[in-house]
Structure 1
Amino acid sequence: MKKVLFVFGTRPEAIKMAPMIRELKGRPEEFEVSVCVTGQHREMLYQVLDFFSIKPDFDLEVMKPNQSLFGVTSSILVGLEPVLDQVSPDVVLVQGDTTSVLVGALGAFYKKIKVGHLEAGLRSGDLFSPFPEEGNRLLATRLTDFHFTPTPQASDNLLAEGVDASKIHMVGNTVIDALFWAVDILKDQGGNPLEDLLPTLDWSRRIVLVTGHRRESFGDGFQQMCAAISRLATDNPNVEFIYPVHLNPNVQKPVEKYLSGQPNIHLIAPLDYPRLIWLMERSYFVLTDSGGIQEEAPSLGKPVLVMRNVTERMEGVTAGTARLVGTNEQAIYEAAQTLLHDAESYDAMAHAVNPYGDGTASRQMADILATAK
């Protein structure tokens, strides 16, 4: 039996860790599982944990108001040491590219514990975009023993950096495992979970889901994104644009300035994971700068326009499920207009094959860990 410690701290990590936790806990003869959350996110993190019925064994509760990367990093590292001592795991599993990933891998390294990195090998090629995620990925890679990559491109990225091929395992992305699980839960629950937030919305109309919050776009880029959405709403009055707005003031201020007051733009509070998935499935297409949504939406047959200048998820762009449109107002506007008014272009994206997996990533990783020495 192998002792496995999961370390994560944000909502996206929790989503992608949840099916792996379920898989390992479902094999008690092979794995003893412990879960440590850092608390890098708080309310949003526990929304996901509650939805998937996961109870952490440890909560470091590191987040404080206006805390810097220095503070978060040092708090996680100090808090993680006694957890590692108590659990004494054979493997520490981290996911993605957050500060929790970097420090989880570093703490395991300090204790000479093996590290498994879910969603390994993503690269944008720009150390400062996304920031600090690209740096976190690069640093965590050097400390990792099991590189669980989502796509062949991610594996190739690691090989190009000199990672031993025997340590690289292409399994797909657990975000697809989680998505299928969540859709099943939502179908069992039934109903419209957004009826209370949008009681007057005409759900028979086409709906565009908008998400935008990345710090590298703050300033002019974010203003242009908002200007494009405003134009689209004006020129397409029979299309509803729903934007769950991140709480960061750098997001809220330009969104309020450019997008409030238009009848077919609906600015709502951030959605928990199940309601976001429900809305994504209900949408016509998605305008986003989110990483996870670039992977999830194609599994639901939804085209994705990526409002970023670079993305570490080029597989979707290559496959045709996503299009990188940048943060230029005219480019965003034209790409969205094409999807709204050109059925052939829309169908080509909606029916492209999702390159991020088939929902079996968790099982594949568990099999690898179970037999590893």
Structure 2
Amino acid sequence: MKKVMVIYGTRPEAVKVAPVIMALQASPVLEPVVVSTGQHRDMLDQINRWFGVTPDYDLNVFRHGATLTQLSARILERLPDVLSRFKPDAVLVQGDTTTVAMAAIACFYEEIPVVHLEAGLRSGDIHSPFPEEANRKLAGQVTALHLAPTTISKQNLLREAVDPAMIPVVGNTVIDALKWTIGRPVEFSDPRLAEGCNAGVPMVLLTAHRRENWGEPMARIAKAVATLAERAPDHLFVFPAHANPKVREVIIPVIDRFDNVVVCDSLDYPQFVHAQQWAKLILTDSGGVQEEAPSLGKPVLVLRENTERPEAVTAGTVKLIGTDTDAIVAHSMNLLDDPAAYEAMANAVNPYGDGHAAERSVAAIAALLGVGDRLPDFGV
């Protein structure tokens, strides 16, 4: 049995590695070792419980108020002892977090092959999203096996002179996790959400947290949602507020005064998936939502100036609109008022996966380690 260590530390990573961990557990030739850095503490533990994942080791690096530099230093300091203890044949990291970049560098120093899940996403701007774009590129420089979710991601890597033999296109495991979750019943813990959902009230879901939107962009988003709440009084506007005060202090005072606005704490993963399923329209600056919502037939307006996920924009399921207040209002009302415009986005094809990305990923890892064969690429 070859030993594959899976290292992750945030809620989005936990969601996307959970299907891979399950597939590794079912493999006759690969054995998973699960390591959490604890970069996101409470939210990470929620995901582990939902998917039934128990880390073999927890670096426990989370500290309130820690800078990116401090977080990076703790991961680099603590991870080598864990690598030495478990002696993995390969290490899998996912996405674009500080955990990903630092774990990849630590493994490179220890000469352990790095497998990068969701490799090859690029916005083209090293400062946006920050620090995610840089984290992806840093990890990519020391990666042995690039598990690209789409052919566009593969093309990005080919332009960076990555060996094409090391870039299987596997799809995105977020769709595997989504399908697993949507098939299980979930109740909203907030009674206002439970009541609205059960009554079939049309709902607009807002998520906003990106660093590049802190300050004035976040204020423009808040003003836009307030305007929409006035212009669409029959709709419920739901904002699961990120814990960061830079988000809460800007948005909540502007929108919380409306009877058709519900501000609640961040929803756990299963509740958030079901909130996306309930929503009529989603306004977001999140990356993962751009992948998940199209599988549920939900139009997504992205509150950013660029995206490292252009596939859904091309497919028509997602529209990049920025943070200008008037633009947010105009695009939103167009979808709420015009059935043809709405259906055009809601019925577009999701380019991100078919629910078998974890299976392809594990087969590619087995091939890398000489104990199996790859499966055909996603989309082929």
Q: Which category describes the TM-score, using the shorter chain as reference length?
A: over 0.9
**Partner residue, 1:242:** 238
Secondary structure of 2:353 counterpart:
coil
CA distance in 2, matches of 1:10, 1:371: 28
How many residues are treated as equivalent by the alignment? 368
Select which of 230, 254, 264 maps to 2:226.
230
**Partner residue, 1:303:** 299
After superposition, residues 139-218 of structure 1 pair within 5 angstroms as 139-186=138-185, 192-194=187-189, 196-198=191-193, 201=196, 203-218=199-214
**Partner residue, 2:376:** none
- Contact 1:211-1:289 at 8 Å conserved across structures: yes
Partner letter of residue 15 of structure 2? I
Moved over 6 A (4+): none
After superposition, residues 317-336 of structure 1 pair within 5 angstroms as 317-336=313-332
**Partner residue, 2:7:** 7
**Partner residue, 1:52:** 51
Moved more, 29-38 or 363-372: 363-372
Partner letter of residue 309 of structure 2? R
- Contact 2:190-2:264 at 8 Å conserved across structures: no
* 1:70 and 2:69 aligned: yes
**Partner residue, 1:25:** 25
- Contact 1:116-1:148 at 8 Å conserved across structures: yes
Judged with a 3 Å threshold, the aligned counterparts in structure 2 of structure 1 residues 199 and 18 are, in CA distance, closer, same or farther, namely closer
State the TM-score, normalized to the length of structure 2: 0.95
After superposition, residues 103-122 of structure 1 pair within 5 angstroms as 103-122=102-121
Secondary structure of 1:327 counterpart:
coil
* Cα displacement string for residues 231-266 of structure 1 (whole angstroms, at most 9, x for unaligned residues): 001011000000000011110111122111101111
CA distance in 2, matches of 1:73, 1:361: 29
1:65 CA displacement: 1.6
- Contact 2:192-2:262 at 8 Å conserved across structures: no
CA distance in 2, matches of 1:347, 1:18: 32
- Contact 2:7-2:37 at 8 Å conserved across structures: yes
**Partner residue, 2:373:** none
**Partner residue, 1:88:** 87
After superposition, residues 219-368 of structure 1 pair within 5 angstroms as 219-368=215-364
CA distance in 1, matches of 2:367, 2:12: 28
* Cα displacement string for residues 181-204 of structure 1 (whole angstroms, at most 9, x for unaligned residues): 111223xxx5x3245354653732
**Partner residue, 1:127:** 126
1:36 CA displacement: 0.4
Partner letter of residue 201 of structure 1? G
* Cα displacement string for residues 51-90 of structure 1 (whole angstroms, at most 9, x for unaligned residues): 0000000001101121111110010111111110011111
1:154 CA displacement: 0.6
CA distance in 2, matches of 1:204, 1:108: 50
- Contact 2:150-2:171 at 8 Å conserved across structures: yes
Secondary structure of 1:201 counterpart:
helix
CA distance in 2, matches of 1:369, 1:199: 42
CA distance in 1, matches of 2:77, 2:32: 22
* Cα displacement string for residues 290-325 of structure 1 (whole angstroms, at most 9, x for unaligned residues): 000000000011110000011101111010000001
- Contact 1:319-1:353 at 8 Å conserved across structures: yes
Secondary structure of 1:77 counterpart:
helix
1:368 CA displacement: 1.4
1:360 CA displacement: 0.6
Considering only aligned residues, what root-mean-square deviation do their CA atoms show, in Å? 1.1
Percent identity reads 46
- Contact 1:225-1:332 at 8 Å conserved across structures: yes
Q: Which runs of 5+ in 1 are unaligned?
A: none
Secondary structure of 2:191 counterpart:
coil
Partner letter of residue 306 of structure 2? V
- Contact 1:207-1:284 at 8 Å conserved across structures: yes
- Contact 2:7-2:103 at 8 Å conserved across structures: yes
- Contact 1:11-1:41 at 8 Å conserved across structures: yes
CA distance in 2, matches of 1:179, 1:274: 9
